[in-house]
Amino acid sequence: MDYITNNPQATLTDGMHLMVDALRMNGVDTIYGVVGIPVTDLARHAQEMGIRYIGFRHEQSAGNAAAISGYLTRKPGICLTVSAPGFLNGLTALAAATINGFPMIQISGSSDRNIIDLQQGDYEGLDQMNVAKPFAKAAYRINRPEDIAVGVARAIRTAVSGRPGGVYLDITTAMLSATMDAQAAQASLFAPVDPAPKQYPCSGSVKRALKLLASAQKPLIIIGKGAAYAQAEVELRTFVERTGIPFLPMSMAKGLLPDDHPQCAASARSLVLGQADVVMLVGARLNWLLTHGKGKKWNPAAQFIQLDIEPEEIDSNRPIAAPVVGDIVSSLDVMIAKMDNFNIHCPQAWRDAIDAVKQTNVAKMQAKLTTLTSPMNYFNALKAVSDVLDGYKDIYVVNEGANTLDDTRNVINMYRPRLRLDCGTWGVMGIGMGYAIAAAVTSGRQVVAIEGDSAFGFSGMEIETICRYRLSVTVVVFNNGGIYRGNDPNLSGGADPSPTSLTPNARYDKLIEAFGGTAYNATTPDELRTALTAALTSHRPALINCVIDPAVGTESGHIGNLNPKTVAPQK
């Protein structure tokens, strides 16, 4: 009777209770959501039964929280939404999770199928499952309590197996209140066996890859967030250190091996991409973030090895000479076991060339970081942040924005796996507070969110959520008063602010005061250092308004090339 909740003597249970039982049986310990018709009682009951419920102010943040909790824990994060508009608000996060390869399940209440299917106009009526399909790895609907166990199991297996992704699970109002025999309900429950099985690569593919790597004069290993998700840090370190090959971490793979590792080539990125003759991709796609492996950034003669769990990813942009399809830990295990049969090494000349460029670039960056300006710019402000964070190597760093994203990624070193959480594959804004909340909730550890002022606006109201749950989250708003910049003119000469302008001299710190958190305003690197230290020492929710010169900031940060340029002459 353990799983049959509320009243053990009951002979009947209903969809809502059974849904909670099924989630518990599958180890779901947290639900991120926004309640309303028809899922309010579901959340109440889940909480009653010991599932932690974290209530948000907007579904997109709840969805982002679920997505990143999936990335961090390898168990699908659960997002609960109400019908139609709530569902749609959450769908952006579900789509982003799918694009990023993060396992999550968006569970949404939906209205009466009879009315929806005849399009008769219902309260928040929408054919949600069919809307979700193109944005999710899969979409399922549970129409009867009898199907809850299978529906939940299918959602979980789909979310975590192969390349992980977002699954939509529709639960109808009628199903939630439908009853069934309690004994039969209990008997129907199960947890899927081995939902994300190991997948070993075939040995021929491993030999082909090792042979190619052994032939390289200028080998390079690129580590992506797939390797971070796979928790392949131990195997990666062994492989990297035993071969001596330089590595380049993609943004969220920073820290899988520490950024100050002698083989880290991050500060010689242009050199290594431009010259490497054999590139081994480990859980990284040749998508736009790597200019599709083509163009002037790349050595046109480079040959590729690609470790990925998704066979369809291979050759998606550039021919892959040696695909290794399998899960990354298993693939690296086999490669390590076989590597002694091949003479894999890194020629000294290649190491020396990289080290020379690293030295020059580090010195250039150091000069930028230590040049003081008033008001602050991104670099001297980030130097202050980095001075403090170097004393907190276990802290989560959430990061979004344009310049704030690019410059933070380059300046703030990461030393441990999966601690850097950012805009990801879509380069999407709005992940900040959802990611920060879930990182704090799943780990119990501290989080610092480094946010552009515009980026922060997309999820800023979740400051109330952070305060309500008393999470150890410090939000640093890099405030230059605008999207990219704060000093753009209105080209008409009119009184309205320019399209990129936000309120000048805004005091984002005042927001958190409304909810009992601690507010700081920092106008110099020293003030920023002091504020961040105080915030982290307090373990309380805090927001630091970090005043940045409105005149600094590059259009679209490092990806200005993606902006179509207007042909008409600009004033």
> Which of the stretches 40-48, 123-131, 278-286, 401-409 binds ligand ADP when contact is defined by CB under 6 A?
278-286
Give SS3 for 214.
helix
Cβ closer to ligand ADP: 101 or 145? 101
Residue (184 or 551) nearer to Mg ion, CB: 551
Q: Give every strand in the sheet of 473-479, ordered side by side.
A: 420-422, 396-400, 447-452, 473-479, 542-547, 518-522
End-to-end CA distance of the chain: 75
315 binds ligand ADP (CB under 6 A): no
Using H for helix, E for strand and C for coil, what is the string for 269-306?
HHHHHHHCCEEEEECCCCCHHHHHHCCCCCCCCCEEEE
Q: Is residue 229 at the binding interface for ligand ADP, with CB under 6 A as the rule?
A: yes
In the bound complex, what is the minimum distance in angstroms from residue 555's beta carbon to Mg ion? 11
> How many other C-beta atoms lie within 10 A of the C-beta of residue 59?
29
| b/e 458-482 (16+ beta carbons within 10 angstroms → b) | bbbebbbbbbbeebbbbbbbbbbbb
Output the smallest distance, CB 369 to Mg ion, in A: 20
Question: 73 in helix, strand or coil?
Answer: helix
Residue 456: CB minimum distance to Mg ion, A: 9
The nearest distance, CB 82 to Mg ion, in angstroms, is 33
Strand partners of residue 150: none
Residue span binding ligand ADP (CB under 6 A) among the ranges 220-228, 333-341, 450-458, 464-472? 220-228
Q: Does 138 bind ligand ADP (CB under 6 A)?
A: no
Please tell me whether residue 559 binds ligand ADP under the rule CB under 6 A.
no
d(CA 309, CA 101): 11
For residues 311 and 344, what is the distance between their CA atoms, to the nearest angstrom? 25
225 binds ligand ADP, rule: CB under 6 A = yes
Q: Binds 327, which of ligand ADP, Mg ion, none (CB < 5 to 8 A, cut-off by type)? A: ligand ADP
Q: Which residues, 323 to 342, sit near ligand ADP by CB under 6 A?
A: 327-328
Region of 122-130, 223-231, 401-409, 471-479 interacting with ligand ADP (CB under 6 A): 223-231
Q: Which does 452 bind (CB under 5 to 8 A by kind): ligand ADP, Mg ion, none?
A: Mg ion
Q: Edge-to-edge strand order for the sheet containing 219-223?
A: 247-249, 219-223, 278-282, 303-308, 322-325
- Note whether 98 binds ligand ADP by CB under 6 A: no
Q: How many angstroms separate the Cα of 184 from the Cα of each of 147, 190, 285, 418?
A: 12, 12, 46, 42
Question: Do the strands 219-223 and 278-282 form a parallel or antiparallel pair, or are they unpaired?
Answer: parallel
Interacting residues with Mg ion (CB under 5 A): 452-454, 480
Peptide bond into 541 cis (omega under 30): no
Q: Does 283 bind ligand ADP (CB under 6 A)?
A: yes
Q: How far is the CB of 481 from Mg ion (least distance, A)?
A: 7
Query: Is 117 one of the binding residues for ligand ADP (CB under 6 A)?
Result: no
Identify residues 242-261 at the interface with ligand ADP (CB under 6 A). 250, 252-253
Which span (58-66, 114-122, 208-216, 283-291) binds ligand ADP, by CB under 6 A?
283-291
CA distance 43 to 38: 10
User: Shortest Cβ distance from residue 552 to Mg ion (Å)?
Assistant: 9
Among 66, 309, 473, 531, binds ligand ADP (CB under 6 A): 309
State which of positions 163-182 bind ligand ADP (CB under 6 A): 163
Contact 160, 103 (CB under 8 A): yes
Instruction: Using alpha carbons only, give the angle 194, 45, 65 rounded to the nearest 5 degrees.
Output: 60
Site string for ligand ADP, 285-304 (x = CB under 6 A): x-x-x---------------
Footprint of ligand ADP (CB under 6 A): 100-101, 163, 224-226, 229-230, 250, 252-253, 283-285, 287, 289, 308-310, 313, 327-328, 425
